[in-house]
């Protein structure tokens, strides 16, 4: 009985840690077989071999193997230029993102200078960084003078200033202010004047035109690249590097090498709205908003997509990031009423009401006592009901299957368009971006690998059906590359073999 309980508890524990993975459960099966009465070690090894063979041929194994090689291919960008040495760094801004980027440099032993407008901002930022280190696993076991000595050594890598003149001798500067083209251009105009002529100038924009930002750095356009960190920047491993029209081979090579040095998985993207990840997120998020407008609830959409394996639902992710972020981006880019295609106006309702997500305690969900666990939010539900009524929408029953298909197929379809436009170099780069940056299940290989496994013909047929039913939702219009794959009978992996 004790043995039975042991294996039952082991299975239950693994089911919580890795609910969708087959291999951990098969390990328990193998050990249990060997430990059972009458079994020998040799018999157990035979069973283990059979289990291994079955797993090796499984879709999960193919997905995990794909991700393994895709991660290692991201740095193969066809550029032979020697990266410039990075010994010192600068960061503009010391908020959540700026502080996290500074910590990324500090974690790699690179001294970093942070510039912000006021000493008060800098002092608060230094306090947040010090507190974050004190709570981290590397420092948690230390106490007293040992803790203070370790913290002091780490914080010695950080210096702060209120003038860009402090960047006079740094090798790289990363701008990390909020998404305002006007502000970023103003900063780059100043950086071009005060930094060394060979210093790499990076913008952490998540959506804006890198070339438009670079144009403000007169005479220094070749040193400008995008370097899109994901929040929290000191923890998230993904780094989207964006090549501008004038970015030199040395600048791109340096950004990719720096990403590896910072412990990131760097992926090179072309310059387009949202780059790889956020461009695909837009259609995915629009479809989520339209599904809610038609009758689904935010929690239903989130649970359906989590049931597929996503780490978070779209509305949970929006609450976490701040519902005002997407709202500001849509305003900045002119993506408001009147844009081509159907506009996801529902996503603007909550930020206009001040429901910004976790940081205000109210968003699509309700967050009480600083909890990160979202509860049903009656006021948000009332706003959604009012929104439907104002537009004469009679809510209908939406199935979980429709939610998964419309959201995931929109995501995949945009991934095909990203490849068509040359924004991503290969399908595996898209898979790495979505696994490391957006919580796509690793055991399904990323959205593009999943598309191949799931069946491109099936996805195309569904998109055609959805596009006919919703002709104003342009992201549902099947991509030319998807059609080409289906018509030729080739998978996406076969189309891009060797690239």
φ and ψ of 123, to 5 deg: -65, -45
pLDDT tens digits, the chain, 499 residues: what are they?
A: 677 888 999 999 999 888 889 999 999 988 888 887 677 888 888 889 999 999 999 999 999 999 999 999 999 999 999 999 999 999 999 999 999 999 999 999 999 999 999 999 999 999 999 999 999 988 888 888 889 999 999 999 999 999 999 999 999 999 999 989 999 999 999 999 999 999 999 999 999 999 999 999 999 999 999 999 998 999 999 999 999 999 999 999 999 999 999 999 999 999 999 999 999 999 999 999 999 999 999 999 999 999 999 999 999 999 998 999 888 878 766 654 434 578 899 999 999 999 999 999 999 999 998 888 999 999 999 999 999 999 999 999 999 999 999 999 999 999 999 999 999 999 999 999 999 999 999 999 999 999 999 999 999 999 999 999 999 998 899 999 999 999 999 999 999 997 7
Q: What's residue 337's pLDDT?
A: 41
CB 466 within 8 A of CB 409: yes
- Omega before residue 441 within 30° of 0, cis: no
In angstroms, how far apart are the furthest CA atoms of the chain?
A: 79
In Å, what is the CA distance from 385 to each residue of 67, 196, 297? 42, 56, 10
**444: phi then psi, degrees, rounded to nearest 5:** -105, 0
Cβ neighbors of 365 (< 8 A, separation 6 or more) are 298, 299, 315, 316, 319, 374, 375, 376, 377, 380
Determine the pLDDT at residue 143: 86
Closest CA to 365 of 323, 438, 400, 316: 316
Using CA atoms, how far apart are residues 343 and 293, in angstroms rounded to an integer? 12
Dist. CA 475–CA 283, nearest whole Å: 6
- For residues 330 and 335, give the distance between their C-alpha atoms in angstroms, rounded to a whole number: 5
Quick one: pLDDT at residue 350?
95
Angle at 72 between CA 67 and CA 77, to 5 degrees: 120
Number of C-beta neighbours around residue 305 at 10 A: 26
Other CB atoms within a 10 A radius of the CB of residue 438 amount to 22
pLDDT of residue 37: 64
DSSP assigned state of 157 = T
pLDDT for 213 equals 98
* CB neighbour burial string for 329-339, b if at least 16 within 10 angstroms, e if fewer: bbeebebeeee
pLDDT at position 333 is: 65
Give the chain's end-to-end CA distance (angstroms, integer): 55
What pTM does this model have?
Answer: 0.93
The Cα 292–Cα 301 span in angstroms is 8
| Cβ–Cβ under 8 Å, residues 363 and 377 | yes
350, 380 Cβ separation under 8 angstroms: yes
Burial of 365 (0-12, 13-18, 19+ CB in 10 A): buried
Other beta carbons within 10 Å of 110 = 20
Per-residue tokens: 92? 């503009």
Do 486 and 454 form a contact (C-beta atoms < 8 A)?
no
Q: How many CB atoms lie within 10 A of CB 59?
A: 15
Alpha helix (H) residue ranges in 136-276: 137-140, 144-155, 181-194, 210-214, 249-261
**Within its chain, how far is the Cα of 199 from the centroid?**
27
User: Residues 245, 438, 287, 359: is their CA dihedral positive or negative?
Assistant: negative
């Amino acid at each position: 009985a004790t043995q039975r309980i042991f294996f039952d508890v082991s299975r239950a524990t693994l089911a919580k840690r890795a609910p969708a993975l087959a291999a951990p459960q098969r390990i328990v099966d193998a050990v249990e077989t060997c430990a059972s009465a009458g079994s020998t070690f040799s018999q157990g090894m035979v069973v283990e071999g059979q289990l291994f063979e079955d797993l090796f041929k499984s879709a999960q194994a193919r997905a995990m193997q794909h991700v393994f090689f895709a991660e290692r291919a991201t740095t193969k960008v066809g550029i032979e230029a020697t990266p410039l040495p990075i010994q010192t760094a600068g960061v503009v801004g010391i908020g959540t993102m700026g502080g996290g980027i500074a910590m990324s440099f500090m974690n790699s032993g690179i001294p970093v200078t942070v510039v912000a407008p006021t000493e008060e901002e800098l002092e608060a930022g230094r306090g947040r960084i010090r507190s974050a280190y004190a709570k981290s696993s590397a420092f948690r076991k230390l106490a007293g003078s040992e803790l203070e000595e370790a913290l002091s050594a780490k914080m010695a890598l950080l210096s702060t200033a209120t003038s860009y003149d402090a960047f006079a001798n740094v090798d790289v500067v990363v701008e990390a202010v909020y998404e305002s083209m006007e502000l970023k251009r103003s900063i780059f105009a100043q950086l071009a004047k005060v930094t060394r002529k060979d210093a790499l100038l990076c913008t952490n924009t998540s959506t804006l035109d890198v070339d438009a930002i670079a144009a403000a750095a007169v005479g220094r356009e070749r040193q400008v690249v995008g370097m899109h960190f994901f929040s929290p920047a000191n923890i998230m491993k993904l780094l989207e590097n964006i090549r501008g029209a004038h970015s030199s081979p040395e600048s791109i090579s340096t950004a990719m090498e720096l990403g590896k040095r910072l412990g990131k998985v760097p992926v090179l993207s072309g310059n387009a709205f949202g780059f790889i990840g956020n461009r695909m997120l837009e259609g995915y998020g629009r479809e989520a908003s339209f599904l809610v407008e038609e009758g689904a609830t935010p929690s239903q959409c989130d649970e359906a997509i989590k049931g597929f394996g996503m780490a978070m639902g779209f509305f949970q992710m929006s609450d976490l990031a701040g519902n005002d972020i997407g709202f500001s981006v849509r305003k900045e880019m002119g993506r408001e009423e009147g844009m081509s295609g159907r506009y996801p106006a529902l996503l603007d309702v909550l930020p206009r009401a001040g429901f910004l997500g976790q940081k205000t305690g109210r968003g699509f969900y309700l967050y009480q006592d600083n909890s990160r666990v979202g509860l049903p939010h009656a006021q948000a539900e009332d706003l959604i009901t009012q929104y439907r009524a104002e537009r004469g929408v009679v809510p209908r029953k939406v199935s979980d299957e429709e939610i998964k298909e419309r959201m995931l197929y929109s995501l995949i379809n945009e991934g095909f368009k990203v490849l068509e436009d040359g924004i991503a170099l290969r399908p595996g780069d898209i898979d790495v971006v979505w696994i490391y940056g957006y919580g796509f299940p690793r055991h399904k290989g990323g959205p593009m690998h999943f598309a191949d496994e799931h069946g491109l013909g099936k996805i195309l047929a569904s998109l055609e059906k959805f596009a006919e039913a919703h002709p104003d939702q342009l992201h549902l219009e099947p991509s030319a590359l998807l059609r080409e794959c289906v018509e030729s009978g080739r998978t996406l992996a076969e189309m891009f073999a060797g690239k």
